[in-house]
Amino acid sequence: MTSRRALLGGLAALPVAASAAAAERKERKAKKRKDAGPTVQHVDVAVIGAGVFGAWTAWHLLRAGKSVRLFDAYGAGHARASSGGESRVLRMGYGADTIYSDMARDSLPYWKNVSDSASAPIFHNTGVLWFAPQGDAYTAQSLAWLQANRVRHEHGDVAWLQNKYRQIQFYQGESGILETEAGALIAGRGVQEVIADAGIAVERVVMPAPLLSKKIQRHTLPDGGTADHLVYCCGPWLAELFPQQLMYKIVATRQEVYHFGAPQGDTRFAPPELPVWADFNNGRIVYGIPDLEGAGFKIAIDAHGPVIDPDTLDRQLTPAGIAEARAYLARRFPGLADAPLIGGRVCQYENSSNGDYLIDRFPGQPHVWLVGGGSGHGFKNGPAVGKRVAAHILNANLAIEPRFAFATKGTAAARTVF
């Protein structure tokens, strides 16, 4: 006869046994699914890299009715990506380089639409102020483009600048342009919002170089699925994936940005009193973003640092870099001369050798695309880049823009602007 103690012991063991059995069934199902192959057997396009170029490429392709898978080794808008971090500038004045002005203008409504549907803003219409010595050719050419394209703006001499922005110390002989329709974009979260708006999930997969199955004329994916087209939007990782083709043609360099905190109650360094700004003097650009979303006053110096590996880069700010930023603040923003450093970030530019984007087929492979070379100014144009890539896939006869062609990429990284 079973004792009461034995019966109770048996009953107590039932939940444990049931749990173990459930776990075993779950493991068997998972193994069965794995053995059965990928959930999605075939797609029209696999996009590798879920940064701003990859996200908008997937977005446009999906809107065109194509099936897409989106891969990234670290996830969307991650900290090591060129598209990660807090904020980026969206401006339209590019001097005589109207191809980028046109792309920025065309990208703006896409960013606005995503921002309007997001739970928190992605685009902040702060305006963008550009100032430089009077008579500067780049500034004059930018102004001419804004006027010809009826993009809203204001402009004036040093008296106009000093009267409008008393928190900035301007120099005699300077002039400026305020693009009133422009502003700042939230970076990492912005990429995530684009992907959410596209209705696609990012698969965290380390993608190898393309593998074409000649028998079925499809590209094989790591889980056994296939795709008709591959689009590599891997930013600073492009040259690592394709060293024979892109070594020294796409080069990642180290950059630092700094965030300083204004005193309590001092609103001079936040919108609407201060726009995004850029100082073009002595052949270099220093730019910044007003205090958005509590991140503090952002300042960055547009100069190429040393060549880096984006995977292994130790992202610590340097004392020399901080000192240089502080010296600039003392000259141009004296109200922030003693402001505390409340944050900062080490990131990278992904420089192409001629400063232009790379949007072209992989040599010898008509259905494999290389997209990158953001060179510090690519984020704003993500929608236009993605639209262009999608158009090439939809129309194989569409001509490659010569400046974006693989053939134009030499081996010496060029200086570019943000």
Please, what are the domains in the chain?
42-408 (3.30.9.10)
Question: Strand pairing partners for 212?
Answer: 219
Q: Phi then psi for 282, rounded to 5 degrees?
A: 60, 35
pTM of the model: 0.89
Task: Give the pLDDT of residue 320.
Answer: 97
Q: pLDDT tens for the chain, 418 residues: list them.
A: 444 334 334 433 434 344 444 445 445 544 444 444 556 789 999 999 999 999 999 999 999 999 999 999 999 999 999 999 899 999 999 999 999 999 999 999 999 999 999 999 999 999 999 999 999 999 999 999 999 999 999 999 999 999 999 999 999 999 999 999 999 999 999 999 999 999 999 999 988 778 787 778 899 999 999 999 999 999 999 999 999 999 989 999 999 999 999 999 999 999 999 999 999 987 789 999 999 999 999 999 998 899 999 999 999 999 999 999 999 999 999 999 999 999 999 999 999 999 999 999 999 999 999 999 997 789 999 999 999 999 999 999 999 999 999 999 987 555 555 6
Task: Give the pLDDT of residue 14.
Answer: 33
Task: Give the pLDDT of residue 121.
Answer: 97
Task: Give the pLDDT of residue 418.
Answer: 65
- 181 in Cβ contact with 125 (< 8 Å): yes
